[in-house]
A = this chain, B = another copy of it.
Amino acid sequence: MRIKLTIAYDGSNYFGFQHQEGHDTIELRLTEAISKINKIETKIIASGRTDRYVHAKGQVVHFDTNLKITEKSWIKAINSYLPDDIRVLEACFVNDDFHARFSAKLKEYRYYIQTSYDLFNRNYSDFFTNIDFDLVEKAASKLIGTHDFRGFCSKEVHDLKDTVRTIHEIKITEVKPNLYEFSFIGTGFLKYQIKRMMGIIINIGLKKLDISIIDQLFITKDPTLCGKTLSGRGLFLYRVIY
């Protein structure tokens, strides 16, 4: 039986999603909890990794089990073994051809920028003052569409053949005074792509980069042209659409 879980976590105290020897990760905690209930070492597959400090409100994972308990019981049982900064929100039985990573059609990430420092939101946003949001809007709109994002991602990804991705929507909303939400909906995102894109559009808004940098990055595909990558703390994997 295959089970799909929707999960939320606060990434502040973890070394990212993916298991790394000697580090505390979301994957380690989930695998331990599920393996205890399954009474056998159980492999979990996620929709994708999230980097250090990055949060999730709707990460999706799947795993297989022979245990016959209800969906509600799965939620309760796994949560009882998880720390209070990781939570299973939903569990459902799915067909064997469901795959958390390969079946994903779209992903939505959200990034938060505060323009007046609120210390209670310091782990969930990045902080800048004097941003020109008209320039930010213009810069963001240039990223929408199907592009080769090789210039916007981690060097590690540069061996990948396919770095073409489609961004369907970038929506910027002032969700409360001095707090801006950037929603990115696309077919998938490369390693560091959102933190790098945010770095570029915020630095354009701060007039530290010219908007022409975006075309240059599409043409040269050279990530060393990027300004500062923003912190992972402002980033949330918001939902995965199947």
Asked if A117 and B87 make an inter-chain contact with CB atoms under 8 angstroms apart, the answer reads yes
List residues of chain B with CB within 8 A of the CB of A99: none
Which of chain B's residues has its CB closest to A124's CB?
B120
A84 at the interface (CB under 8 A from B): yes
15 A-B contacts (beta carbon < 8 Å):
A8-B119, A8-B120, A9-B119, A10-B119, A10-B120, A10-B122, A55-B120, A84-B119, A84-B122, A85-B119, A85-B122, A86-B119, A87-B117, A87-B119, A120-B124
List residues of chain B with CB within 8 A of the CB of A10: 119-120, 122
Interfacial residues, chain A to chain B (CB-CB below 8 A): 8-10, 55, 84-87, 117, 119-120, 122, 124
Q: How many copies does the complex hold?
A: 2
Docked CA distance A86–B120 (Å): 10
List residues of chain B with CB within 8 A of the CB of A9: 119
Docked CA distance A175–B122 (Å): 21
Which of chain B's residues has its CB closest to A122's CB?
B84
List residues of chain B with CB within 8 A of the CB of A124: 120
Which of chain B's residues has its CB closest to A117's CB?
B87
Smallest Cβ distance from A10 to chain B, in angstroms? 6
13 more A-B residue pairs beyond the given contacts A9-B119, A10-B120, with a C-beta to C-beta distance below 8 A? A8-B119, A8-B120, A10-B119, A10-B122, A55-B120, A84-B119, A84-B122, A85-B119, A85-B122, A86-B119, A87-B117, A87-B119, A120-B124
Nearest first, the 8 closest Cβ-Cβ pairs linking A and B are: A87-B119, A85-B119, A84-B122, A10-B119, A8-B119, A10-B120, A84-B119, A87-B117
List residues of chain B with CB within 8 A of the CB of A122: 10, 84-85
Docked CA distance A9–B124 (Å): 16
- Which of A8, A119, A122 has most B Cβ within 10 Å? A119
Docked CA distance A3–B137 (Å): 43
